[in-house]
Amino acid sequence: MKIEKVNITEKLNQIHDLWNPRIVGELNGQHVKLTKADGEFVWHKHDNEDEMFLIIKGNFTMELRDKTIEVKPGEFIIIPKGVEHRPVTDGEAHVLLFEPAGTLNTGNIKNEFTKENLQKI
């Protein structure tokens, strides 16, 4: 296996769409992903996967059913399996995700936001 470092900004520069995570790393059956986001995502949950959002840039808010948490660059939040959540941004935001390989971005929902067969970059 070739071992190389990954530069987050360089990978983000290759992404020209929204809410479409790219796989940038894999370890222990987990994927490291990067996505650009803007606006309101869809309410959803993951029945079997915890999900971590590390904010790289932008104004990002995680809406939960009982509270809303603003997550700033340099901060992360972990959403446990089964918890309904909705990411919302004010303008473009850049997010690093850690989650099990195969996690569907819209969890239990399938709609126009759903992305399958994610690209590795």
Our finding on whether 5 is near a copy of itself (CB under 8 A) is: yes
Q: Which long-range contacts does 73-80 make (Cβ < 8 Å, 24+ apart)? A: 76/52, 77/52, 77/53, 78/50, 78/51, 78/52, 78/53, 79/46, 79/50, 79/51, 79/52, 79/53, 80/50
Q: Which is nearer to a copy of itself, 71 or 118 (CB)?
A: 71
Residue 112 CB, shortest distance to a copy of itself, in Å, is 27
CA 54, CA 25: separation in Å to the nearest integer?
Answer: 14
Using CB under 8 A, which of the segments 26-34, 36-44, 86-94, 105-113 binds a copy of itself? 26-34
Our finding on whether 59 is near a copy of itself (CB under 8 A) is: no
Contact residues for a copy of itself (CB under 8 A)? 1, 3-9, 25-28, 30, 32, 49-52, 62, 64, 69-72, 74-80, 83, 98-100
